[in-house]
Amino acid sequence: MARDGGAVVDILAAAAAAVLLCCFLRPATAMMVDTIRYGPPRGPYRLGAVPPVDLGNTNSCVAGYGGADGESTPMFRLCIPTSVAFTDDGATLVGEAAKNHPAAISGFKRLLGTRFDSPDVRSAAEHLPYKIVDWCTRTHIEVNAGGAAARSMYPSDVASIVIAELKARAEAHLGGEVHNAVVTVPYYFSDGPREAAMNAAAMAGLMTARITGEPPAAAVSHGLHRNKLRDGGNVLVLHVGGGTSDTTVLTYDNAVFEAIASYHDLHLGGDDFDGKLADHFTQLIKHRHGIDIAGDDLAVAKLKAQCERAKKTLTAAGHDTAQVNLHSQLANGVNVSFSGSLTRPQFEELNHDLFQRVISLVEKAMAETKRVPGFDMIDAIVLVGGSTRIPRIRELVKNYFDGKETATATSISSGAVAMAVVVEPDEAVVHGGGLLSHPMEDGYLCMGAGGRRQIGSPMDRCYHEF
Ligand code: ADP
Ligand code: MG
């Protein structure tokens, strides 16, 4: 009996030691954030010295002012695929070079700073093509490279590789080093993911000068703060990206955009639309040629890439049909040679349910606004993310708002009412982040710094005065 009790005590002591060791092995997240928060002020402020960094699940962007021909040049914006691959020969690939690699890891923004047992991570585990594991209650990504035993990394470690590449590209463009950044994050990022995003930037050599929300940045990118909105006016920001979608309703008051309703779906976006098309063509290939490509990862990836291309073709005006071709040798030696076509109505039909899920995010956010005292109508709609280019999604949003709850039924374009600047939907966030980092334009780095009027949101945090 006594010996059994002793064994239990030994086991408990060993478990406690393991937990302690485990937690000591964690990168010094808290320490790093303290340095960011309380580190010495940097400055003086120089235009272009603090580029915005928009880390996405599918694509990540950086922007800035200045460059070889001086600070008067317009803002540049650069985006790369959010892909990292660790190859068998020990190389690390990033961006375009990694995107089509069989070992590519992407879509990890949604894992930043998460607990492994959270419902979002449980559902991510079912969708992601790579393995995620529990590391001292936090989510880790398992990486296999060079035939070595699998190791695992924090999502922020992988994200830092993408941010380092953005930093290098911005520096090449600017012809000088940058050490600080404005980091944009979704509204639904709580403290953990925010700190993980800042850590990723810090590991890439960028201290976070300001962290700001993606929806307000998108609203700013369309100039909605420049006397375009009445005080108390409301903006609906709909983001449909590659892997995630979200809707946020912002109320504008005296230069501040405050979120009053928000809904998100971490597994809804362009990748899913491509997946539906790939399933359709996989069935068609089976039916026509009697070949099942479903188990062949390489062939499925090729087919998905073709489907993405066809989807983009159908977005362009004047294109009602797109081609999907697959000429490939499967791993089992069988040759597939397939050519098919996809019409726009077919594309819309195959994705009908997914498009309805996008609209239901809008419906839920709008239902939430009904509980906000004084809310009357939406004044402007801002569409963000590459997938909002899809005509059917625009049409569904327009139908939803037509004649009700909007100031103008014509407020849907690639941005909002009467835009001064045409901003591509996938660059809206980084463009807004750039404006927020430009003291002469619309903002400067810290809310209230220097006692000047500051565009931003109550969720913004600043870590250095400039
Ligand atoms: P993120 O979620 O990383 O912010 P993006 O906003 O860059 O992603 O959106 C990427 C998605 O947008 C991809 O699924 C891509 O296929 C899709 N996309 C880009 N351009 C178009 C287009 N012209 N038509 C349809 N979808 C597009
Ligand atoms: Mg994006």
Which domain, by its residues, includes 274? Answer: 270-352
Answer whether 210's CB lies under 8 Å from 183's CB. yes
Q: From CA 165, how far away is CA 171, in angstroms rounded?
A: 10
Which atom of ligand 1 is found nearest the CA of 273? 14
Instruction: Specify whether 44 is located in the same domain as 172.
Output: yes
Which phi and psi (to 5°) does residue 396 adopt?
-65, -40
Q: Does residue 324 form part of some domain?
A: yes
Element holding 236 (H helix, E strand): strand 233-240
Q: Count CA atoms closer than 13 A to 387's CA, side-chain side.
A: 25
Structural domains counted in the chain? 2
Q: Does residue 377 form part of some domain?
A: no
Element holding 78 (H helix, E strand): strand 76-81
Instruction: Specify whether 59 is located in the same domain as 205.
Output: yes
> Considering 352, 380, 414, which residue would you say is the last residue of a domain?
352
Which atom of ligand 1 is found nearest the CA of 60? 3
Choose the residue to mutate in 58, 61, 246, 273 for probing ligand 1, maximizing ligand atoms within 8 Å of C-beta.
58
Answer whether 79's CB lies under 8 Å from 185's CB. no
Peptide bond preceding 44: is omega within 30 degrees of 0, i.e. cis?
A: yes
With a Cβ cut-off of 6 Å, ligand 1 is lined by 56-59, 82, 241-244, 269-271, 308, 311-312, 315, 385-387, 389-390, 426
Q: Does residue 418 form part of some domain?
A: no
**Residues 61-78 as b or e (16 or more Cβ within 10 Å = b):** bbbbbbbeeeeeeebbbb
Contacts of 165 by beta carbon, 8 Å cutoff, 6+ apart: 80, 94, 95
Distance of CA 275 to the CA centre of its chain: 19
| pLDDT number for residue 33 | 31
Instruction: Specify whether 43 is located in the same domain as 186.
Output: yes
How many angstroms is it from 391 CA to the middle of ligand 1? Answer: 13
Q: What is the pLDDT along the chain (466 residues), one digit of tens a residue?
A: 344 556 666 666 665 665 555 444 444 333 233 333 333 334 444 556 789 999 999 999 999 887 655 555 678 899 999 999 998 888 999 999 999 888 899 999 999 999 999 999 999 999 898 999 999 999 999 987 766 667 899 999 999 999 999 999 999 988 889 999 999 999 999 999 999 999 999 999 999 988 999 999 999 888 887 767 888 899 999 999 999 999 999 999 877 899 999 999 999 999 999 999 999 999 999 999 999 999 898 999 999 999 999 999 999 988 899 999 999 999 999 999 999 999 999 999 999 999 999 999 999 999 999 999 999 889 999 999 999 999 999 999 989 988 555 544 334 443 443 333 468 999 999 999 988 876 555 455 454 444 455 678 888 887 765 5
Instruction: Specify whether 48 is located in the same domain as 176.
Output: yes
Pairing of strands 256-265, 245-253: antiparallel
How many angstroms is it from 90 CA to the middle of ligand 1? Answer: 30
| pLDDT number for residue 210 | 87
Which domain CATH number covers 321? 3.90.640.10
- Give, using CA atoms, the residue closest to atom 19 of ligand 1: 386
Q: Which two tokens stand for residue 173?
A: 């463009």
Residue that has been written with the tokens 């087919």 in this structure:
303
Q: From CA 395, how far away is CA 412, in angstroms rounded?
A: 9
Instruction: Specify whether 161 is located in the same domain as 59.
Output: yes
What pTM value is reported for the model?
Answer: 0.87
Nearest to 446 by CA among 226, 222, 182: 182
Answer whether 93's CB lies under 8 Å from 84's CB. yes
Contacts of 116 by beta carbon, 8 Å cutoff, 6+ apart: 132, 133, 134, 135, 137, 138, 139, 140
Q: Does residue 406 form part of some domain?
A: no
Beta pairing partners, 207: 180
Q: From CA 404, how far away is CA 287, in angstroms rounded?
A: 46
Which one-letter amino acid corresponds to residue 6?
G
Determine the length of the chain. 466
Instruction: Specify whether 280 is located in the same domain as 170.
Output: no
Q: Which two tokens stand for residue 402?
A: 């037509």
Instruction: Specify whether 318 is located in the same domain as 442.
Output: no
How many angstroms is it from 186 CA to the middle of ligand 2? Answer: 10
Residue 265 CA: which ligand is closest? Answer: 1
